[in-house]
Chain A
Amino acid sequence: MITARGGGLADLLGDYYTALAAGDPGRLPLAADVRFTENGQPIAIGAGLWATATWAADSRVVTVSEEAYGPGGTAGSVAGWGMITEGGADGADALLGVRLKTTGKAISEIETLVVRRGPFGRTTFPGRLLEPSAAMAEILAPADCGTREDLVRAANGYLDGVSRDDAGLIPAADDCVRIENGLQTVLNPGADGFPETFVSSGGLGGLGLGVRAQIRTLAFRYIEDIRDRRFVAVDTERGLVLVCCFFDHPGKVRDAGFDSPIAAPNSMLIWELFKVAGGLIRRIEAIGAAFPYGMRAGW
């Protein structure tokens, strides 16, 4: 898709953040029947974060886009996340994920995920969220590229493995890094960035372990299901696949036979971006926030 300024889908995503910080959705090429959700709730454009945001970072941490050509014209999908501030000088930082769907030259769908709590008990967001992730943006050698189906299969394998406690289902490289809301949650033996309260609780079954080794410790038994998976954008050139889904956490269930680190039931809306090269997941970056148990995304 080519925007009025001549840029592509990634530029359109940047335009969204700029318009948001100015509180002016009129700057965007919105379809007459555009749908908008914030944290799973359908609300009017101009409400929610549109009314409170006062600043947006110059760049996004990650961006992924995909175009499909069909009889109805070109359909585009672009998503990414970056930092914003709401409430002005006395305001607060938040991490904002935005997904746009375009039909022709107009935006027909806007889905947003606003993470307002610092990760893992932190009161601030990690500085890395102000910078683009170079590793995610890198273009793959042709021999390492998979098809759209290959990438979706790899992502599904990860989600199945995590929800069923079966590391064998997860096609992840041993040195695969995972970043969640800006913190590295695997292969991080020094627990860099994590508050002491989280480290001492033993969460995630060992931050020093790799993706599959963590699963083998059964540290994720508290995840009941990973449902409503939507593969919203796939970029085969960069090996990127973005899935939006819910992790259901039933809480400390009386007869579970293990102690869940999450006391009260909740469902976490997660946007998870996988980089897949040569058939293996090489890097994972994700954002997410907890919502009432059983909530749905509105899409």
Chain B
Amino acid sequence: MGEVSQDLQERRAYLDSYADRYFELLPSGGHPRLPIARGVTFTENGQRLRLGQGLWATATGAARTRAVTVLDGPAGQIATWGMVTEAGHDAILGVWLKVDDEGLIDEIDTFVVRFNDMSSTFSGSGLLDARRLAGPTPGLLDLVDEGERPSVAELRRAADGYLDGVSSGDAGLIPVADDCPRIENGVQTVLRTDGPLPGRAPNPATAMSVAQQVREGVTRHIAAARDRGMYLTDPSRGLVMVRFFFDHPGAVRGWQGRAPFIGPNSMPAWEVFKVRGGLIRHIEAIIAWFPYGYRWAAAEGR
């Protein structure tokens, strides 16, 4: 295993404590006790809200440990997600925090993935394995040996290669290992050996690898992976997180392929890639279904 400097380790622990605090205070609506800077911005699901609104007013529980965390020490940023409860229903909460030089949070962006949500543009209840997301993802935070450790630029290139390849249908653009799992909302959606996706009809594509799905046209319904942002990187663990939208135009006139959606929609995603030796080894994502063309306020500075 490689090593990281003690200074960086301390910086990471420091950032991690902010996310711990966020999840700890959430179910009691304790947002006034967060160490926030004046003028802090808060967004939930792409909308600028007052801190205290949205999930802060409705959450009734939050997990003590989170499934995925990416710490970008030099940038003073952390992005993480874990399970929460809202009015007795499971939801996934993604939180991105930016901490300033004085130790105060000056930006908060959140992504709440709700199920059986009236505003979802997906007619079903969506994928969720709450049990899998109840604790840390095994191996994700392991340090990468220095010989196989990617640079910041390589991390960004790997994430962009994946998004370019999936949205253009060109598997050659994706630097991915054949045995790379992809977990979406806690559910494995590639290389499945244990049957169909929960609540879905059998689909042979879920047994394929990431690259094979793209080669076989399984992802042809994706028109774009746009408005990419965040790009938190942690080279010592080989991690990069990107926030973006997949655009799904729906059952477009004359479309011959498989159209999983009839009406158009846009899917916000926070996606984490673990990269080692130049290849993506593991993908974790949280996703939801929003109106077609939706934009994320935090991405636009509005």
Q: Does A181 contact B (CB under 8 A)?
A: no
Cβ contact within 8 Å between B263 and A86: yes
Q: Does A111 contact B (CB under 8 A)?
A: no
Q: Does A87 contact B (CB under 8 A)?
A: yes
Scan residues 243-302 of chain B and give those whose CB is less than 8 A from a CB of chain A.
Answer: 249-253, 259, 262-264, 266, 290-295
Q: Give the Cβ gap from A266 to chain B, nearest Cβ, in Å.
A: 4
Checking A40, A52, A116, A262 against B249 with a beta-carbon cut-off of 8 angstroms, the contacting residue is A52
- Please tell me the size bucket of the interface on B: 35 or more
Q: Assuming the A-B contacts A264-B118, A293-B45, are A254 and B58 also in contact, with contact meaning beta carbons closer than 8 angstroms in the complex?
A: yes
Cβ contact within 8 Å between A263 and B89: yes
**With A and B bound together, what is the CA distance between A202 and B291 in angstroms?**
29
- Please tell me the size bucket of the interface on A: 35 or more
Q: Interface code A275-293, partner B: CB below 8 Å = 1, 0 otherwise?
A: 0000000000000001111
| B-chain residues with CB within 8 Å of residue A92 when the two chains form the complex | 262-263
Q: Does B46 contact A (CB under 8 A)?
A: yes
**With A and B bound together, what is the CA distance between A112 and B205 in angstroms?**
35
Cβ contact within 8 Å between B29 and A254: yes
Q: Does B53 contact A (CB under 8 A)?
A: yes
Q: Does A193 contact B (CB under 8 A)?
A: no
Cβ contact within 8 Å between A266 and B118: yes
Cβ contact within 8 Å between B45 and A292: yes
Checking B54, B57, B112, B263 against A116 with a beta-carbon cut-off of 8 angstroms, the contacting residue is B263
Q: Does A63 contact B (CB under 8 A)?
A: no
Scan residues 70-90 of chain B and give those whose CB is less than 8 A from a CB of chain A.
Answer: 86-89
- Interface residue ranges, A against B (CB under 8 Å): 23, 38-43, 47-49, 51-52, 54, 86-88, 90-92, 94, 114, 116-117, 250-255, 262-267, 290-295
Inter-chain pairs besides A41-B293, A251-B86, 10 sampled, C-beta below 8 Å: A48-B249, A49-B263, A117-B123, A254-B58, A266-B117, A291-B119, A291-B291, A292-B45, A293-B44, A294-B49
